[in-house]
Structure 1
């Protein structure tokens, strides 16, 4: 065995994405100074949980963390995939935090992936499981991911702080590589779909949110359907909460999504739930989410701002062919993703702002990542 050379990185930012790119590009990494000066130094619970998840879906990956958690050595293994896997995502971040990298990894596995994830299904910080189902999975199909075997089932919902949700994710493997895309026409919005949910509160909360959101949309568009998903008993998780997820579908097959969740947060004393805080009334939630969706549509581009990072990553993983996409204003996560792609995959994007439309056109030649770990028949 020769000496392993590690790519040296510093700080805690974009840890999840760095680990994902390290795995895809088989690059061992050494990250130092992880929150070295913070009150609680080192890796946070959800970051450790994500490392455990990488160990679950891959074989022969090696993780070393020092005592304070401020230094991490990671040597990626082979992504195996497999069925009947399970992972508890914990309660410090929602399942959405784990889903994005997991979907990409699953495509390059040895076997199709089927995994049960437990934890928080909806929270304000990460995209909700509904958004993944209605906007993220259709995005993958653009890149030639087969729709058979690609699904996300919501078994039960759970909001912060006590979670209790459960979803099952299935991801097929790609048989060689993704497909490069030219995707620049966002089209016109033809319909709006959505789903509202409530756990351990009255179903009336959902009806009020839907009524408020439709009040805004119906002035602009006749085809608006927002479904209700009221959970009770064991399927309602362990905490009260409600929320709504909306998707605008365009004439050219683009999906623009937003979502929000209202629930109690933890108080200052970590285990103490701050129920003194008034929750936002459902009527305001409905109006606010409708305005957010209109804002995303106004920005232009073929996807919404939360999906920028994933879109760029998929373009970079394509064969050595040109991919061309149009997005609205670049968000910090999207910009950081472009930097990480350059560092790990050596793929650079040509970025051309278009002042007339306020959008940005990006072009790149993919790194040609092939699924080498799949079983060759």
Structure 2
């Protein structure tokens, strides 16, 4: 393609639309910044132009012919857009540069005053002149040159006024603009362009609710997630310490994860890596207990590349999250139903820690499985025994005994097989803060475990709680959980639904009690990340099912396979 001269048209630069005589040449629209291409043969001779101006006669201007448009590239390189397309000053400066720097440099100097300075024009798909390639500033391409699009017009406000003096840009800037690749440049650096391309396929959520659900499902599905407006209107916006600690834990157990947080902490972008596992140690935040982190590890641990062996330090029992005692008594037997079992499957409390000081330590190890078995848990059975754990740290050992007596006074009315252990730790194993609590687990004839727990108020927060009141209230909570019924208690509803989703491509069924709001939102996230929906059947209470209304959940697994596990 020949050289193209770009310049702002004047009032006489475009033929009038609909003219037949070819003598009237006036703009068809008031837009004055449209680039116009003129061959060299249409330029007026300087002597004829001077003679015509002196005599006052009108110089006829004819429309371009086909022979003119097919002129040689060397002629097109010196074309001018009408007699007033460029000023005399810029024309002389271009030829002066040619005399000093050679013919090719002179042509380029002539091109410089006509290069568009508006960003909207410079971002168009402009053809690269041949003399730029001849200078070695850009390697010649085998692809055919692209023509500027007709519809991408620059803004009228950026057009220079006729006869205005335009500042000449440096040579390097003009060459870079002329030799730019034929693509609209993206905002930001190269890393930012790749970042935006990656985020185009990520899930986007708003708010801090269900933070763990989104990150855990993103890790298992391998789909990036972006969470915006994290406490954006709060006095202290952004992620909390326990949420940042959870993100750090995910980074430890994965390989290749990409985590980006803005300066205010209100936006998080998480691109998951591969679940690696291995030996990990993590210090949990003092604002949430170890159960906050352990619940997510139970979902991810079976799909690691190496068996997970993790040591978590922090608070073992509080009033917000499930305690380690409850997860050990209910979640581990549930995982065994899906085939996750072995000698290395263990959850042990090394030290107890109560809020606000913490100081507890927990060891958790889990084997790796390639596939999960489907389950059919439709008959919860009847309660056959109740077990429990009354713990106390940095208080009198008699408090645990008082808790046991008060809770048995209520539970003995329903079943005789009740045994509640006492656990009183001393010294360094008792953590940094005093406290006590009780966790109860009811086991059925079909291997279902229903749990309830209660802990004392943290030191210096709220009113003091009597051990007798705590024992009786915890026993009532267990009776309420038994009334809700189901094959899985309300604490582990989301865990069993996730394992059913990731199971083999077979039908799995489970009977649950009334779904908690946390479980309902978890079902929505499962549909987003794994495109799976559950069949929900309501089972009213009757002769066969005692207690409250039950829900039968049925689904077909997605056939999730642990590709990281080596086959021996």
- Normalising by structure 1, we get a TM-score of 0.95
Contact 1:111 1:375 (8 Å CA) reproduced: no
Contact 1:159 1:263 (8 Å CA) reproduced: no
Partner of 1:171: 366
Q: CA deviation at 1:177?
A: 1.0
* 1:207 equivalenced with 2:401 (yes/no): yes
Q: CA deviation at 1:315?
A: 1.1
Matches within 5 A, 1:1-377: 3-4=197-198, 5-83=201-279, 85-174=280-369, 176-264=370-458, 273-274=460-461, 277-356=462-541, 357=545, 358-377=549-568
Q: CA deviation at 1:6?
A: 1.7
Give the whole-Å Cα distance in 2 for the aligned partners of 1:350 and 1:123: 35
Contact 2:536 2:552 (8 Å CA) reproduced: yes
Contact 2:457 2:463 (8 Å CA) reproduced: no
The CA deviation string for residues 240-286 of structure 1, in whole angstroms up to 9 with x for no partner, is: 10001110000000010111111326xxxxxxx43xx3221010111
Give the whole-Å Cα distance in 1 for the aligned partners of 2:338 and 2:208: 30
Q: CA deviation at 1:376?
A: 3.2
Q: CA deviation at 1:234?
A: 0.4
The CA deviation string for residues 144-170 of structure 1, in whole angstroms up to 9 with x for no partner, is: 112321111100000111100000000
Instruction: Report the secondary structure of 1:38's partner residue.
Output: coil
Count of residue correspondences: 366
Partner of 1:268: none
Give the whole-Å Cα distance in 2 for the aligned partners of 1:310 and 1:342: 15
Give the whole-Å Cα distance in 2 for the aligned partners of 1:80 and 1:375: 12
Give the whole-Å Cα distance in 2 for the aligned partners of 1:116 and 1:300: 33
Give the whole-Å Cα distance in 2 for the aligned partners of 1:133 and 1:76: 28
Q: Where does the alignment leave 5 or more consecutive residues of structure 1 unmatched?
A: 266-272
RMSD: 1.2
Contact 1:209 1:282 (8 Å CA) reproduced: yes
Give the whole-Å Cα distance in 1 for the aligned partners of 2:314 and 2:417: 34
Q: Where does the alignment leave 5 or more consecutive residues of structure 2 unmatched?
A: 1-193
Contact 1:256 1:297 (8 Å CA) reproduced: yes
Instruction: Report the secondary structure of 1:226's partner residue.
Output: strand
Give the whole-Å Cα distance in 2 for the aligned partners of 1:247 and 1:355: 25
Q: CA deviation at 1:140?
A: 0.4
Contact 1:193 1:248 (8 Å CA) reproduced: yes
Give the whole-Å Cα distance in 2 for the aligned partners of 1:232 and 1:114: 26
Q: CA deviation at 1:134?
A: 0.9
Give the whole-Å Cα distance in 2 for the aligned partners of 1:239 and 1:163: 7
Give the whole-Å Cα distance in 2 for the aligned partners of 1:179 and 1:97: 26
The CA deviation string for residues 305-360 of structure 1, in whole angstroms up to 9 with x for no partner, is: 11111111111111111111111111111111111111111110111111234111
Instruction: Report the secondary structure of 2:456's partner residue.
Output: strand
Give the whole-Å Cα distance in 1 for the aligned partners of 2:484 and 2:212: 27
Instruction: Report the secondary structure of 2:551's partner residue.
Output: strand
Give the whole-Å Cα distance in 2 for the aligned partners of 1:48 and 1:68: 13
The CA deviation string for residues 41-60 of structure 1, in whole angstroms up to 9 with x for no partner, is: 11111110000000111111
Partner of 1:270: none
Give the whole-Å Cα distance in 2 for the aligned partners of 1:11 and 1:193: 39
Q: CA deviation at 1:375?
A: 2.5
Give the whole-Å Cα distance in 1 for the aligned partners of 2:521 and 2:343: 32
Greater percentage in strand: 1
> Which gives a bigger RCO, structure 1 or 2 (Cα 8 Å, sep 6+)?
1
- Normalising by structure 2, we get a TM-score of 0.63
Instruction: Report the secondary structure of 2:413's partner residue.
Output: coil
Instruction: Report the secondary structure of 1:112's partner residue.
Output: strand
Give the whole-Å Cα distance in 2 for the aligned partners of 1:223 and 1:156: 29
The CA deviation string for residues 104-139 of structure 1, in whole angstroms up to 9 with x for no partner, is: 211100010001000000001011000111111001
Contact 1:249 1:255 (8 Å CA) reproduced: yes
The CA deviation string for residues 162-187 of structure 1, in whole angstroms up to 9 with x for no partner, is: 1000000001111x211111101110
Give the whole-Å Cα distance in 2 for the aligned partners of 1:92 and 1:67: 22
Instruction: Report the secondary structure of 2:416's partner residue.
Output: coil
Give the whole-Å Cα distance in 2 for the aligned partners of 1:159 and 1:368: 41
The CA deviation string for residues 15-50 of structure 1, in whole angstroms up to 9 with x for no partner, is: 111100000000011111111111111111111000
